[in-house]
Structure 1
Amino acid sequence: MRVNKLTVAAVAVVAGLSLTACQNEEDIAADPKPATSSPATGGDTDQGHEGGTVDGTGTDEDGKADHCRTDELEITASDATIDGDTVGTVAVEFKNGGGRDCTLTGYAGVDLKTNAGPLSAERTGEKAPSVTLEDGKSVWFAVTYPVNDSGGSGTRITGLVVTPPNETKPVTLDWPGAASLPVTDGSGTPVKVGPIGSAGQGG
C-alpha cells in the first residue's frame, strides 16, 4: 500500500507540472511580447527624431540659417505707387514657404520683359542687409520706374522676372505696374531695384 501511495503522489506531481506548462504556453500565445527589449529598438525612434530636428533647421556649420532657395519662396508683386508720384513703385514679396528659417542677403535680380527686349533693373546702391526670414513670414523690396506721362505709347512692359539673392533660378510674374515706360535716350536703365527690406508690408 505504501508503494501505491507513492505512485499516486508521483502521478499527481507530474500532472501538475504538465498543467502549469500548458498554462504557460497559452499565456505566451496570448501575449507573444518578449520579456525584455533591446535598447536599440527604442533608440532607432529617438535617433530618427533627432536627425529630423537637426536636418530641418536649415543651418550651416556656423549655426546660421542657409540662404532662401527659389523653390522655397512664394514670390508675388503688387502695385505700390502713390497717386501723383512721378515715379512708379512695384513691391515684390518673398514669403518663406520652405518649412525652415532661411536668409536673404542683398539685392534680388530684376528684369522687365518689354516689347523692345529685356530690361535689367539697376541697384539703388542702398545698404543691403541680411534678413533671416522665418517660415511663413514675408519680406518686401521695391522696384521703381518712371511714370510715362508723355502721352505716347512708350515701351510696353509685358512681364517681371525676379531672381532671389544668391540664386540662379528666376520666377516670371505678371507686371502689376503701369503698362509702359517713357522712351529713353538709351544712356541707362530707368528702372531701379532696392535691397531686401526696402519696401514695407503692402508696399
Structure 2
Amino acid sequence: MLMRLSDDGGSLIDRGLMRSRGSVYVTGAVLAASWLLVGCDGEVSVDAKGSDSSAAVSASPSSEGGQPSSSKGNASSSGGGSSSSSKGSSTEIPNDDDGDGFGNGTEIPNDDDGDGFGNGDNDGDGFGNRPCRTRNLSFRLGDVAGDDQRQLPVIITNRGTSGCTLKGFPGVDLLSASDSWSLARSSKAPKAQTVAPGGTTGFTITYLPWEKGSGKEFNAATLVVTPPGETTSKTLTWPGGSVLRQDAATHPGTYTGPIGD
C-alpha cells in the first residue's frame, strides 16, 4: 500500500483516522441525545451524515395509536375546550304562577273568613280555637245591678262565620270630656271562652258611683273596650253616670273582671 505524505510531513492516513474519530465522537453525542429524548416518549430523527446542524428532533406525548391522550375527567378545559355543565337543576317554586321566583302565598287551612288564622278544633268542642278579632265581635251593655257598689255586664257576640276563643282580661277605659281612666283588673283567674258563630260571652265592670261629698268625681261619658290580644277597640256610651275616682288606690272599688266572669 502506497503512503503519501502531506506537505508538512504528516501522513494522509493519520489525518484520515483523526477525521474518522472526530465523526465518531460527534455521531456518538447525537445518538446519546436521541436516546435521552426517546426515553422521554419522544421521536428523534437523525440524518445519515450525523451532523448536529441538520438533525431534526420532534417530540409528542405518548398515547395509544399515536394520538395524544385525552382527560376523562369533568374539569373544564381552556384554550377552546368546553366547560363541563352541572347536572343539577334549580329548586322549583311551588305556585309561582307569574314566574317571579316567589310563591303565591301559603294557603291557611280552614281559613273561612280570610283573616290568616285557621279554624282548628284542638279541644274537640266543634269550634275553632283561633283568637276572636274585634272586627268580628259586637258589644252591648246589660242592665246595671247593685246599690253601693254596682255591676255593669258587657255582652260580646261573635258575628263571624266560625268559632273563636277569648281568654284574659279586656282593656277597659272610661273617658270624660277631658280625661281618661284605665280600670284595674280583679284577682280572678281568666279561663278560655270559645264562642260559636252567633254565640255570646262577656265580662263585668264593677264600679263605685260618685255621690256628693264621697270624694273625687270622674264624670264618665264613654266606655272603650279592647278584647284580649287585640289593639282595635269598640266605643260604647257609659250608662252609669259619675264614678268615684280611685285610680291611685291600691285596691280600687272600680275594676273589670276577666272574660267569662
TM range (shorter): 0.5 to 0.7
Work out whether residues 146 and 191 of structure 1, in 8 Å CA contact, stay in contact via their aligned partners in 2: yes
Is 1:155 the counterpart of 2:218 in the alignment?
A: yes
Is 1:59 the counterpart of 2:119 in the alignment?
A: yes
Q: Percent identity?
A: 32
Distance 1:137 1:151, change over 3 A: same
Unaligned runs of 5+ in 2: 1-106
Work out whether residues 181 and 247 of structure 2, in 8 Å CA contact, stay in contact via their aligned partners in 1: no
Q: Distance in 1 between matches of 2:111 and 2:247?
A: 52
- 1:181: how far off? 1.3
Residue in 2 that maps onto 1:76: 140
- 1:196: how far off? 0.8
Is 1:110 the counterpart of 2:172 in the alignment?
A: yes
- Which protein is richer in helix relative to its size? 1
Residue in 2 that maps onto 1:99: 161
Work out whether residues 87 and 145 of structure 1, in 8 Å CA contact, stay in contact via their aligned partners in 2: yes
SS class of match (2:142): strand
Q: Distance in 2 between matches of 1:133 and 1:183?
A: 34
- 1:114: how far off? 2.0
Q: Distance in 2 between matches of 1:183 and 1:108?
A: 20
Deviations 1:35-74 (A, max 9, x none): xxxxxxxxxxxxxxxx999232842596852000000001
AA in 2 matched with 1:176:
P
Q: Which moved more, 1:150-159 or 1:118-127?
A: 150-159
What is the aligned-residue RMSD (CA, Å)? 2.8
AA in 2 matched with 1:165:
P
- 1:183: how far off? 4.5
Q: Distance in 1 between matches of 2:169 and 2:189?
A: 10
TM-score by length of 2: 0.50
SS class of match (1:148): coil
AA in 2 matched with 1:149:
E
Distance 1:160 1:185, change over 3 A: closer
- 1:151: how far off? 5.6
TM-score by length of 1: 0.63
- Which protein is richer in strand relative to its size? 1
Distance 1:134 1:186, change over 3 A: same
Deviations 1:8-50 (A, max 9, x none): xxxxxxxxxxxxxxxxxxxxxxxxxxxxxxxxxxxxxxxxxxx
Q: Distance in 2 between matches of 1:185 and 1:99?
A: 39
Work out whether residues 121 and 129 of structure 2, in 8 Å CA contact, stay in contact via their aligned partners in 1: no
Work out whether residues 110 and 120 of structure 2, in 8 Å CA contact, stay in contact via their aligned partners in 1: no
SS class of match (1:98): coil
The alignment of Structure 1 onto Structure 2 pairs a total of residues equal to 145
- 1:140: how far off? 1.6
Unaligned runs of 5+ in 1: 1-50, 199-203
Query: Bigger relative contact order, structure 1 or 2, given CA contacts below 8 A and separation 6+?
Result: 1
Distance 1:60 1:69, change over 3 A: same
Residue in 2 that maps onto 1:171: 234
Q: Which moved more, 1:149-158 or 1:109-118?
A: 149-158
SS class of match (1:79): coil
